[in-house]
Amino acid sequence: MMLTFLLLLPFLGAIALATWPNLAAKSARNLALISAGTALVWTIWLFTQFDLTTGSLQFREFWPWLPALGLNYELGLDGLSLMMVALNSLITWVAIWSSDPNQERPRLFYCLLLLVSAGVAGAFVAQNLLLFFLLYEIELVPLYLLIAIWGGEKKAYAATKFLLYTALSGALMLAGFLGTVWLSQAEDFTYHAGLGQSLPLLWQVGLLALLLVAFGIKIPLVPFHTWLPDTYVAASTPVAMMLGGVLAKLGTYGLLRFCLGLFPDAWVWLSPYLAGWAAVSVLYGAITAIAQKDIKRMVAYSSIGHMGYVLLGGAAMTELAMTGAVTQMVAHGLILAILFHLVGLIEAKVGTRELDVLNGLMNPVRGLPMVSALLVLGGMASAGIPGLVGFVTEFLVFQGSYATYPLQTLLGVIGTGLTAVYFVILLNRTCFGRLDNAIAYFPQVSFSEKLPAYLLAGLILYFGIQPNGLVQWSAPTAQVITAALPTIPGQLLANPPTPQPLNPNL
């Protein structure tokens, strides 16, 4: 029951929000906070119970649901899932906190937000392919509504685009799962690592391609990314935090769990191309971000670039790079959440996101000095400045992948350099310079509004200085995942520092 609570707590909160009679706006927010907060506390408790010595699944739960279909309620948690669940609980709570206290139609808003959180939490711990698919699809509806009702400019267009893309992603994924199970003649949809390994390599590659496109849309990776800037920009701040901080992780989670997990042979076979794809994504995201004139859009494009590192880490197939990929997902979630939160604050206070209009927000008296300072920190973390969590994870990825794919890694490093370029542009225009007299009567930012940013900044700093607090949880799982991979193609194994892969006997 321990994992079920992860779904149940936000779900019950959503039900309560929907049904409680005469709920005032303020109470709705508090109720949502309590519900998400309990889930967060529950997650923290899971950490204390988590067995660090094993990389396999823990807290397993099983209830038959529709055995005829092979659909069972199966949950389990390993280091990878744990990280994702923790990120989801944290970002959900922070996103609710950072929502406008005078939110329009608060009950529906928080109810949908909690439903998304419940669905995502379920997806991260689901150990049944169909169950994963269901939960993956279920969160689309509340998200679509969240964007379409509370979004900004062009919200209807953005919401529809998001729905179409992600629905296609779901369809491809379902096709991939069905194909895998039917072709491998498994008795049900229960997830087993290396499930597809028995198939001929060509079949494997074909099925893997389906899943890659499915998750590539969700992450997103170039060229499946075009829904992302529109959606992120149109979404309100809490929704953008959820989208960038958590929802995108469903894609990378799927990549590592299902693409790599189900078809290790095909993965190895495709990995040089995947690494190249990652490098293209990284560079494309960074270069496009440089060209943006809207700071929210800039942050949105930065997300594309940073998700490329996860693919790179996964493609490299070393334990180090795999750890890097998992932690990069967490780091990216924290950093993107703080950036979207701060950009949202700036938009709320200053009334614009235009890079050419914003100026001098670092002004200590009339500007938004603390918001600017935190934005500088977020930018530095995103650009991989040492001492912050972004550096740790990117460095792990690069260190781990250089041995396998030096060229692609170097391109990724260049991408990090380009990240610094657009963040310097963003920070220089937004925070520095002269505050314009005509517009500089911004409302004050209260402590409560800044609290999410403080929290996230604290974690970004803490994990930057004490990366073990992050790495230790996922390291055993990363070891298991890489160990499951077949021997890396010989010509790539020239470098001695690569950890010796074990026999693919799982």
Partner 1 sequence: MTTLTHTPLPPSTHPHADIIHRLEAGGSMLPDTPENLMQIIGIYKAYAVPMDFYWRDLLYIAERVFLNPIPAFKYFLPQSYLDLPNHYAGETADLRIWRGEATAHPELLEFMEKGELKHKLPKLFHHLWHDRINMEFAEACMRAMLWHQGMGGRFNDYLQTPEYTEACDRTIRAYFKGNPVMLGLYKAFPEMFYEKCRELSYYANLGQFWEVMAPVFFEMSDIYDEGGFAGVPDAMDFLVNGIFAVAGRPIYHHVYVGDECFELIPKSCGFTWLYEAALPYVEAVFYRTAPFRGTKSYNAQAGQVPAAQSDFHYGILFADVFPIGSAGIPPTLLMQDMLHFLPPYLQDYYRQHCRGEDDQLTQIGATFQRSMYNVTSAVIQALRTALLYPLNDPNPEHLRANRQFFEAQMDRFLRPEARLRDIQRQDYR
Residue numbers at the binding site for partner 1 (CB under 8 A): 360, 363-366, 434-435, 437, 440-441, 444
Instruction: Provide the 3-class DSSP secondary structure of residue 310.
Output: helix
Q: Measured from the CB atom, is 434 or 496 closer to partner 1?
A: 434
What's the token pair of residue 335? 């950093």
Q: Are residues 308 and 248 in contact, defined by beta-carbon separation less than 8 angstroms?
A: no
Q: Measured from the CB atom, is 81 or 363 closer to partner 1?
A: 363
What's the token pair of residue 25? 């706006």
Instruction: Provide the 3-class DSSP secondary structure of residue 73.
Output: strand
Amino acid making up residue 177: F
d(CA 309, CA 281): 9
Q: Measured from the CB atom, is 73 or 432 closer to partner 1?
A: 432
Q: Measured from the CB atom, is 364 or 496 closer to partner 1?
A: 364
Residue indicated by tokens 């440089």: 290
**Minimum distance between the CB of residue 372 and partner 1, rounded to whole angstroms?**
13
**Minimum distance between the CB of residue 368 and partner 1, rounded to whole angstroms?**
11
What's the token pair of residue 157? 């267009």
Closest Cα to residue 310, out of 275, 347, 261? 275
Closest Cα to residue 249, out of 333, 323, 171, 305? 333
Instruction: Provide the 3-class DSSP secondary structure of residue 359.
Output: coil
Closest Cα to residue 278, out of 386, 398, 391? 398
Q: Measured from the CB atom, is 364 or 490 closer to partner 1?
A: 364
**Minimum distance between the CB of residue 433 and partner 1, rounded to whole angstroms?**
8
Is the CA virtual torsion 265, 270, 275, 279 positive or negative? negative
Q: Measured from the CB atom, is 48 or 444 closer to partner 1?
A: 444
Biggest distance spanned by C-alpha atoms of the chain: 71
Rounded to 5 degrees, φ, ψ at 48 are -70, -25
d(CA 425, CA 439): 21
**Minimum distance between the CB of residue 437 and partner 1, rounded to whole angstroms?**
6
Q: Measured from the CB atom, is 444 or 503 closer to partner 1?
A: 444
**Minimum distance between the CB of residue 348 and partner 1, rounded to whole angstroms?**
16
**Minimum distance between the CB of residue 432 and partner 1, rounded to whole angstroms?**
11
d(CA 103, CA 112): 13
Q: Measured from the CB atom, is 82 or 435 closer to partner 1?
A: 435
**Minimum distance between the CB of residue 365 and partner 1, rounded to whole angstroms?**
4
**Minimum distance between the CB of residue 311 and partner 1, rounded to whole angstroms?**
42
For 261-286, what is the HEC assignment? HHCHHHHHHHHHHHHHHHHHHHHHHH
**Minimum distance between the CB of residue 143 and partner 1, rounded to whole angstroms?**
37
Q: Measured from the CB atom, is 92 or 359 closer to partner 1?
A: 359
- Using a 10 angstrom Cβ sphere, with 0-12 exposed, 13-18 middle and 19 or more buried, the burial of residue 200 is exposed
